[in-house]
Structure 1
Amino acid sequence: MNRLRTQVAIVGAGPAGLLLSHLLHQQGVESVVLERRSRQYVEQRVRAGLLEHGSVQVLRDAGLAGRLDRQALHHDGLELRVDGQRHRLNVTRLAGCSTYVYGQQELVKDLIAAREEAGGQIWFEVDDVVPELSHDGPSTVRCTLDGQPTEISCDFVAGCDGFHGVTRPSIPEGHLTTYDRTYPSAWLGVLAAAPPASEELVYAVHERGFALASMRSPEVSRLYLQVEEGDSVDNWPDDRIWKELHARLSVTGEAELTEGPILEKSVVALRSFVAEPMQHGPLFLAGDAAHIVPPTAAKGLNLAVEDVTVLSEAFHAWYSDGDRALLDGYSDRRLPSIWEAEEFSDWMAGLLHRPPEGDRYGARLQRARLDAVVNSPASGRQFAERYVGLARQYAGGERSGQRTP
């Protein structure tokens, strides 16, 4: 058996695990990253790419934003389309911060390259990962590495391995409380070789259902349609997709959406999930291993960046000063922000999605909320602050130092 030693064993080579490893390296803390999938799979896995200003600043401060700053699409606002009418919200003017579109797979490539340049240890196609947690000594992560049984001794385990990973289930029964919600709609996601419908994101509310027009580059669009829960891509040939996009994204008196070859399509279920606490002994959860938000507000990647930024600071305090206060308080510090993002994402789902058939009351409430966002400066400002992530700075009273009960 191979026997290795590190300070922090990180399970999962998504943005959370890779960024945590890099931040720890910059603070002089050793880590290894274990990933079940191949490098090719990880680098090509398409996920949402809307980054808040705060996330971009973390990447800049860590020296990881060179390619992002050259290639990311910078957005000062967004567009709501309701009944064929445009309503633009300038979130930079309303909230003082902007957003950026940069494919998550591109960020992953940047992070892997940075870790390799710094001599970091990232192992792909690692099988049979089993965390064995110890509260009074080194913990162990057992796995199969390059076909060989391997035992990694470590002080801490960081679970960055997603909702279906192995780290969260390693917490003994009775030590974790979970909260979840499944939504009655799903999203059909499409990647198309077509120019974006707009220079900024377009959120379209329509009687046929919600549609979102996003982008990956000036030549590639990322498009979404609200569909029924449990729907299948087999029900959506390309011509039906374009027909529905034209109908939901149309603007009265303006040119139609430009079509192009559809490169990928998939159906994404909408769900919310939070695990409390986000830690157990030497195990700390981050990103999708601890929480999932529906994609309506694109908060998942940004929450993961926040998680590992806070966690890296806690590890640094422990290894530099022997101070466990930040480690012990990790979950309490993160959960108010996470629940703020969960609530906003849930509210966005209600704002944008077609209500259930026959729910006339729900439809009228939706219209009242849309009217407030597009017509009330106060409501628009509140929306903008939540959309760019500023509201999370105040969650739990953390910014003012006055934590709420």
Structure 2
Amino acid sequence: MRTQVAIVGAGPAGLLLSHLLSLRGVDSVVVENRSRAYVEARIRAGVLEQDTVDLLVASGLGDRLREHGMRHDGIHLQWPGERHRIDFRALTGRSVWIYGQTEVVKDLLGVRGDDVWFEVTDTALHDVDTDRPRLSFVDAEGTPRVVQADVVVGADGFHGVSRPTIPAGRAWEREYPYAWLGILAEVPPSTDELIYAWHPRGFAMHSMRSPRLSRLYLQVAPGERVEDWSDDRIWDELGVRLGLDGWSLGTGPIVDKGVTPMRSFVSTPMRHGRLFLVGDAAHIVPPTGAKGLNLAVADVAVLTEALGAFFAEGRTDLLDGYEDRALRRVWRCTHFSWWMTSMLHTSGDELDQQLQLAQLAYVCSSEAAATSLAENYVGLPHDTGHTA
């Protein structure tokens, strides 16, 4: 097969890149080792930044988002006896949307699904340091395939084949001493906007996926077994950590639960020859700042602009500047995610506890501090390098 861009990974980053390139008349092929059903069902992020929403709408993917997405103009920060709202619209004029990654992927597969090879095996990249890189794989029927491309993009996550293909560079990593026990429950949300709660027993969060589905999290130990958490135990602990006089937590059937470890990871380079990395293949952030999916979308926005200029005009300057431009945002979001995580998760250290409470009180009483949180949370504008 011959294409212009070969993309490894049919998550939101790979599918969005394929879609945006198609709007520019650039051909692509996407390969994915999982089934389409698995990709469509993965429960991941649910908060979309302003620029992520604007990009999806501008690319023709806004119909279901407008119908089912929930615009949020703020979040609540809470600690025992206190709950304060950070007003994004008043502080920045921008908002976020609640619209699950599963829904974003369904929208993307609706326009790009026919260009994806699902359930492939033995994926490998070849000659990426030349101007004729190749992608080889075995399709779902067992037939070996080779794709000749001009550019290869690795959107296949931390454990994919793309990142190890790049010669060893440098990586920064932190494993956090806690994890999240997350649940999806068939119960209307008990809050109008997300609640981030600090509690001596550990962090808790109340989010949602729709007017009928709630998404909630508890801080637990990294090695915690989900089997040790019955539904009753989960609801009881959420009730304690999210408890506030005059407010009650609705409960209902839990339809999904799992434990997610938390880490920060950034690796460089994000490019080697004609191979470019986007999303989790190059960086991972803890979910506290709601940045993972949005960072991947920002990478894609920058790379789309660079590839568009390359194929339309033969320009290489934006491709050469891709890594520096992407990394500026990566490090800003990595810091914000670390800061939110450090402020809200308990360690058992009494000094840390007092420092966290002081920081929370400051953010909720200082307009400057609240504005800093708000502008990072709603997302900084995409820096694509486009000057027209």
Q: TM range, normalised to the smaller chain?
A: over 0.9
1:2-401 paired onto structure 2 within 5 Å:
4-116=1-113, 121-145=115-139, 146-172=141-167, 174=168, 176-252=169-245, 254-354=246-346, 356-357=347-348, 359-390=349-380
8 Å CA contact 2:302–2:382 kept in 1: the answer is no
8 Å CA contact 2:178–2:261 kept in 1: the answer is yes
- The code of the aligned residue for 1:196 comes to P
**Residue aligning to 1:403:** none
Cα deviations by residue, 1:243-302 (Å, 9 ceiling, x for unpaired): 0000011112x2421110110100000001111121100100001111000000110111
* Identity between Structure 1 and Structure 2 (%): 52
- Aligned residue for 1:5, secondary structure, equals coil
Give me the whole-angstrom Cα distance separating, in 1, the residues matched to 2:203 and 2:329: 27
8 Å CA contact 1:211–1:226 kept in 2: the answer is yes
Deviation for aligned residue 1:133: 2.6
Query: If the length of structure 2 is used for normalisation, what is the TM-score?
Result: 0.97
- The code of the aligned residue for 1:49 comes to G
Give me the whole-angstrom Cα distance separating, in 2, the residues matched to 1:164 and 1:84: 42
- Aligned residue for 2:187, secondary structure, equals coil
Give me the whole-angstrom Cα distance separating, in 2, the residues matched to 1:352 and 1:360: 14
8 Å CA contact 2:363–2:370 kept in 1: the answer is yes
8 Å CA contact 2:186–2:254 kept in 1: the answer is yes
Cα deviations by residue, 1:336-378 (Å, 9 ceiling, x for unpaired): 1100000000000111111x22x22211111111011111111
Give me the whole-angstrom Cα distance separating, in 2, the residues matched to 1:121 and 1:29: 13
- Aligned residue for 2:201, secondary structure, equals coil
Cα deviations by residue, 1:54-99 (Å, 9 ceiling, x for unpaired): 1000011111111001110110111112113221111111111000
Give me the whole-angstrom Cα distance separating, in 2, the residues matched to 1:366 and 1:137: 52
Give me the whole-angstrom Cα distance separating, in 2, the residues matched to 1:215 and 1:135: 44
8 Å CA contact 1:160–1:287 kept in 2: the answer is yes
- Aligned residue for 1:223, secondary structure, equals strand
- Aligned residue for 1:341, secondary structure, equals helix
8 Å CA contact 1:190–1:222 kept in 2: the answer is yes
Runs of 4+ aligned residues of structure 1 deviating over 2 Å after TM superposition are 133-137
- Aligned residue for 1:69, secondary structure, equals helix
Deviation for aligned residue 1:41: 0.2
- The code of the aligned residue for 1:249 comes to L
Give me the whole-angstrom Cα distance separating, in 2, the residues matched to 1:294 and 1:135: 32
8 Å CA contact 1:84–1:249 kept in 2: the answer is no
Give me the whole-angstrom Cα distance separating, in 2, the residues matched to 1:47 and 1:338: 19
8 Å CA contact 2:305–2:386 kept in 1: the answer is no
- Aligned residue for 2:180, secondary structure, equals strand
Structure 1 gaps of 5+ residues are: 401-405
8 Å CA contact 1:393–1:399 kept in 2: the answer is no
- Aligned residue for 2:16, secondary structure, equals helix
Deviation for aligned residue 1:136: 3.2
- The code of the aligned residue for 2:83 comes to R
Deviation for aligned residue 1:134: 3.7
Give me the whole-angstrom Cα distance separating, in 2, the residues matched to 1:338 and 1:24: 22
Aligned length: 386
